[in-house]
Amino acid sequence: MVELLQKYLWIYLVAVSVVAFISYGIDKSKAKRNKWRIPEKFLLGISLVGGFVGSFLAMQTFRHKTKHWYFYAVVIISTALWGFLLFKLYTA
């Protein structure tokens, strides 16, 4: 049962990271064209719910939201929380 949970958790984390990466890319594209933007709450939230890898990679790839310290803070906090959760799951 735990192995199944681990498998689906990794699939979830990859999927959320892909959504986060794409969202940052779309937001950067819209920012360049002065179009409607994706709310910062969504970008921060997607990191917290598991998209921390995609968020960080997108920040570096698109050079987007890199001047806002709180985006880095949320990515670090999210990484720590998910790391702790994964540690507990694998050592249970």
User: Which pLDDT tens digit goes with each residue over 39-60?
Assistant: 999 999 999 999 999 999 999 9
Report if pTM > 0.75. yes
pLDDT confidence bin for 3, thresholds 50/70/90: confident
Domain boundaries, the chain: 2-91
Least Cα distance to 45 among 67, 12, 68, 23 occurs for: 23
From residue 68, alpha-carbon distances to 62, 63, 74 in Å are 14, 11, 11
pLDDT digits (tens, 9 = 90+) for 55-78: 999 999 999 999 999 999 999 999
R_g over Cα of the chain? 14
